[in-house]
Amino acid sequence: EPEVTQTPSHQVTQMGQEVILRCVPISNHLYFYWYRQILGQKVEFLVSFYNNEISEKSEIFDDQFSVERPDGSNFTLKIRSTKLEDSAMYFCARTATEKGTEAFFGQGTRLTVV
């Protein structure tokens, strides 16, 4: 099964600016996830999204983060006011079914906050 596609592959933004990271899924995918990996560190779960609602979120996913899936197409992660420490790789992932176990990852978006 194909992984999801993420855009852009790399984004540079000024501190304090808003960024939107996009994930383009296959239409029958139900569960979506965002993960973050700060350079040299482990991958951390941010949020899961099912049936157009947040299913679970980690303590990292604070008020500056939001997710949505407008008109059932792209799945987006918005960071409202970026900080230097938001610089990281952001991965979108999906599982195909309710009982799906494997998470298949996109290629990631490298976010650099300057």
Partner 1 sequence: AQTVTQSQPEMSVQEAETVTLSCTYDTSESDYYLFWYKQPPSRQMILVIRQEAYKQQNATENRFSVNFQKAAKSFSLKISDSQLGDAAMYFCAYREMYSGGGADGLTFGKGTHLIIQP
Query: Which residues, 44 to 73, sit near partner 1 by CB under 8 A?
Result: 44-50, 55-56, 58
DSSP state of 38: -
Asked if residue 41 binds partner 1 (CB under 8 A), the reply is yes
79 and 69 in contact (C-beta within 8 Å)? no
Asked if residue 90 binds partner 1 (CB under 8 A), the reply is no
The one-letter amino acid code at 25 reads P
Stretch that binds partner 1, among 15-23, 27-35, 62-70, 76-84 (CB under 8 A): 27-35
Stretch that binds partner 1, among 11-19, 20-28, 62-70, 106-114 (CB under 8 A): 106-114
Q: In the numeric block, which tokens belong to residue 15?
A: 């501190």
Q: State how beta strands 109-113 and 10-13 pair.
A: parallel
Stretch that binds partner 1, among 11-19, 63-71, 72-80, 101-109 (CB under 8 A): 101-109
| Main-chain phi, psi angles of 113, to 5 degrees | -105, 125
- Cα separations in angstroms, 55 against 26, 29, 66: 19, 15, 13
Contact footprint for partner 1 (CB under 8 A): 31, 33, 35, 37, 41-50, 55-56, 58, 89, 91, 93, 95, 98, 101-108, 110
